[in-house]
């Protein structure tokens, strides 16, 4: 099923998603990958404020290539999500409910998805230029010293992703792979 999602997301928006749904996101998403996650979790542990409002927020795991003149952003496909597994539950606890990346994640992450009624989407790895077309505006939010790994706010229009893991334990890769196993 194709679902249009507009941010800010409601609890109902998030919890009604099911593994296998295709989503087209319009609104605000935040980028963060390895180094930014490390710093965000350090802030949480110190009890300090995050550089963005985490309530029902969407985090996209990407480290864009530099932008050429005339472009909004450089190519910005998803990076492998499993590297963020140690950090994700801390962010979910603060209110982050949607994470977008690529590839399988750990069982402990999937359990945290259920605990925090959160969802994991995958975007197509390597389709970085195509994905960059959905990004309409970019603002640097934190950690400029990290370059491509800084936290950016993306304003997106119809950013395409697939719900691979929903808030009730649905796991698209697990279910769909079985169909094609011989």
Partner 1 sequence: MRKIDLKLIEDTVAELLYDACVNLNEKELKALEKAKLEEKSEIGKDIIGQILENDYLACKLNLPLCQDTGQAVIFLEVGSEVIFDGNLEDAINKGIAKAYTLGYLRKSVVSNPLTRVNTGDNTPAIIHTKIVPGDKIKITAAPKGGGAENCSALKMMIPADGIEGIKKFVLETVEKAGGKPCPPILVGVGIGGNLEKAAMLAKEAIILREIDDVAEGEAERKLEQELLEAINNLGIGPMGLGGTKTALAVKVNTYPCHIASLPVAVNLQCHAMRHKVKVI
State the catalytic residues.
Answer: 37
Closer of 27 and 74 to partner 1 (Cβ) = 74
Please tell me the distance from the alpha carbon of residue 91 to that of residue 143, in angstroms, as a whole number: 17
Applying CB under 8 A, the span of 5-13, 50-58, 74-82, 113-121 interacting with partner 1 comes to 74-82
Q: If binding means CB under 8 A, how many residues of this protein chain bind partner 1?
A: 45
Closer of 83 and 117 to partner 1 (Cβ) = 83
Q: Which of 78, 76, 73, 75 is nearest to 61 (CA)?
A: 78
Q: What are φ and ψ of residue 110, in 5° steps?
A: -65, -35
Please tell me the distance from the alpha carbon of residue 69 to that of residue 87, in angstroms, as a whole number: 34
In this structure, the number of other CB atoms found within 10 A of the CB of residue 81 comes to: 23
86 is an interface residue for partner 1 by CB under 8 A: no
By CB under 8 A, the residues from 4 to 33 that bind partner 1 are 20
80 is an interface residue for partner 1 by CB under 8 A: yes
User: Which one of 43, 44, 65, 72 is in contact with partner 1 (CB under 8 A)?
Assistant: 65
Concatenate the DSSP letters of all residues of 109-166 into one string.
HHHHHHHTT-EEEE--TT-HHHHHTTEEEEEEEE-GGGGGGSEEEEEEEEEEEEEEE-
C-alpha atoms less than 13 angstroms from C-alpha of 75 in its C-beta half-sphere? 10
Q: How far is the CB of 49 from partner 1 (least distance, A)?
A: 27
Q: How far is the CB of 139 from partner 1 (least distance, A)?
A: 18
104 is an interface residue for partner 1 by CB under 8 A: yes
Interface residues toward partner 1, by CB under 8 A: 20, 62-68, 71, 74-77, 79-80, 82, 102-104, 122, 124-133, 147-148, 160, 162, 164, 172-173, 175-182
């Amino acid at each position: 099923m194709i679902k249009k999602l507009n941010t800010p997301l409601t609890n109902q928006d998030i919890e009604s998603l099911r593994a296998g749904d295709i989503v087209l996101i319009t609104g605000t998403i935040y980028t963060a990958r390895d180094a930014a996650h490390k710093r965000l979790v350090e802030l949480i542990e110190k009890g300090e404020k995050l550089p963005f409002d985490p309530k029902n927020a969407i985090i996209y795991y990407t480290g864009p290539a530099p932008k050429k003149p005339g472009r909004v952003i450089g190519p910005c496909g998803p990076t492998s999500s499993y590297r963020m597994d140690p950090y994700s539950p801390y962010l979910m606890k603060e209110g982050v409910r949607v994470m977008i990346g690529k590839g399988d994640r750990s069982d402990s992450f999937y359990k945290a998805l259920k605990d925090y009624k959160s969802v994991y989407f995958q975007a197509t790895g390597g389709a970085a230029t195509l994905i960059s077309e959905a990004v309409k505006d970019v603002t640097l939010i934190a950690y400029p010293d990290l370059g491509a790994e800084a936290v950016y706010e993306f304003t997106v229009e119809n950013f395409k992703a697939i719900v691979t893991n929903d808030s009730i334990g649905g796991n698209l890769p697990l279910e769909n792979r079985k169909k094609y196993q011989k």
